[in-house]
Amino acid sequence: MLQQYERVLVAVDGSKEAERAFQKAIQVANRNDAALGLVHVIDTRAFSSVANYDTSMADKATEYADELLSGYKEDALKAGVTKVESYIEYGSPKTAITKEAAKAFQADLIMCGATGLNAVERLLIGSVSEYIIRHSPCDVLVVRNDVPDYK
């Protein structure tokens, strides 16, 4: 039996891995005539101490997120996806994707890239994709960047 997805959420951050996940999410959304949700998480932990001195940092991060999501949305619409929603979340990417964005979008599939943190960060705090797999309220597809496409 083939799984039908109605609401596909993809996490994007501008990286090569996220771009590949986005491209595959377009394919899944088109095959299933599904809505596509785009989420970008602004990791406020990364600049919380700096923000006390430079309040424009959060504004710049939000502006970047808006531009990034607008570009992805435009690309998805051009590729034939008819229903596209975008979300900017703030906080830890791990919890923002699984707890806030997935629930707000009512996702039945979350797609994300496989990498993003270096080996030391993964050892100390764990990868975002690993957390999503363990805590997601729905199915998860982790897209690998180093695996060729098979048709």
Fold of 16-143: Rossmann fold (3.40.50)
Q: The pTM is what?
A: 0.86
Distance between CA 16 and CA 35 in Å, rounded? 23
Check residue 109 and give its pLDDT.
Answer: 97
Cα distances (Å, whole numbers) of residue 150 to 21, 42, 84, 121, 147: 15, 33, 26, 31, 9
**What is the percent of the chain where pLDDT is above 70?**
80
Indicate the SS3 state at residue 62. Answer: helix
Q: Are 8 and 25 in contact (CB under 8 A)?
A: yes
Higher-pLDDT residue of 138 and 114 is 138
Domain ranges of the chain: 16-143
Q: Identify the sign of the CA torsion 130, 114, 61, 126.
A: positive
Higher-pLDDT residue of 115 and 44 is 44
Q: Are 51 and 57 in contact (CB under 8 A)?
A: yes
Q: Report whether pLDDT(145) > 80.
A: no
Check residue 15 and give its pLDDT.
Answer: 87
Q: Report whether pLDDT(125) > 50.
A: no
Q: Report whether pLDDT(91) > 80.
A: yes
Cα distances (Å, whole numbers) of residue 66 to 6, 41, 69, 73: 25, 11, 5, 10
What is the rounded end-to-end Cα distance, in angstroms, of the chain?
19
Tell me the pLDDT band of 74, cut-offs 50, 70 and 90. Answer: very high
Interval 64-81 mean pLDDT: 97
Q: Report whether pLDDT(121) > 80.
A: no
Q: Report whether pLDDT(50) > 60.
A: no
Higher-pLDDT residue of 145 and 95 is 95
Higher-pLDDT residue of 69 and 129 is 69
